[in-house]
Structure 1
Amino acid sequence: MIGHIDAVVVDCADPAALVRFWSGVLGGQPRVRSDDWAYVDPPGSTRLAFQRVPEAKTGKNRLHLDIDVRDLEVATLAAEALGAHRVGEVQRDVAGAFQVMLDPEGNEWCLALAQP
């Protein structure tokens, strides 16, 4: 082993706004260190950090977060109330169901409901 994950870092235009959004999704206290860097330490999870970059997002993410939820529709509505947008319909397969979402800067992520 070389090391362990210290944080997942998201490039963005507005770190303070995104950390507030994601702390609403995951819990934890949003921390804004500067105009260029913010983070949240969700309870029981890895730090999620946001760093300002000059370029805009282009194309689809090569990495995304799957957020485990108990009720897909309730979680989707709560995420939308925070500023997320759903993409398409709920997808279902043998592993369960998921709803693709976009955060306020257009980063893809999923709400996931595992099969019992």
Structure 2
Amino acid sequence: MRAHVQEIVFDCADPAALVRFWAGLLGGAPVDRSTDWSYVDPPGFVRLAFQQVPEGKSVKNRVHLDLEVLDPVVAADEAVTAGASRVGDLVKDEQGSFQVMWDPEGNEFCFVTG
């Protein structure tokens, strides 16, 4: 059996706010399906959906998105302006570089090159 990824779903406190952050980062129009479910279809990527849950995030994500960019420093600066936070310093090695980030609700993602 083979499956197809339909969407990636983030648990969150405020789906409407979080979908707008990710739509700003990746493109696409945010859609609020209901007060507890929003999604965006970024160009060239699978749908990202955001569902409201009562509990807050308490530990590191077991899965995160790596987003390829030309310059992770510039991308991080723009994401911080939109509500994200840097986690640590830029990491560089012979394979490229990456900057770990948190979205406005603390979900980890990385800007990567290489």
Do both share a fold (TM > 0.5)?
A: yes
Query: What amino acid is aligned across from residue 46 of structure 2 in structure 1?
Result: T
Q: Tell me the secondary structure at the aligned position of residue 8 of structure 2.
A: strand
Aligned to 2:82: 82
Structure 1 unaligned spans of 5+: none
What TM-score do you get using the length of structure 2 for normalisation?
Answer: 0.97
Give distance in 1, aligned partners of 2:33 and 2:95.
Answer: 39
Deviation at 1:2, TM superposition (A): 2.9
Aligned to 1:14: 14
Structure 2 unaligned spans of 5+: none
Q: Percent identity?
A: 60
Aligned to 2:49: 49
Aligned to 1:25: 25
Give distance in 2, aligned partners of 1:73 and 1:94.
Answer: 17
Give distance in 2, aligned partners of 1:18 and 1:95.
Answer: 31
Deviation at 1:92, TM superposition (A): 1.7
Aligned to 1:101: 101
Query: What amino acid is aligned across from residue 78 of structure 2 in structure 1?
Result: A
Q: Deviations over 1:10-61 (max 9, x none)?
A: 0000000000000011000011111110000000100000000111101100
Give distance in 1, aligned partners of 2:93 and 2:7.
Answer: 30
Q: Tell me the secondary structure at the aligned position of residue 20 of structure 1.
A: helix
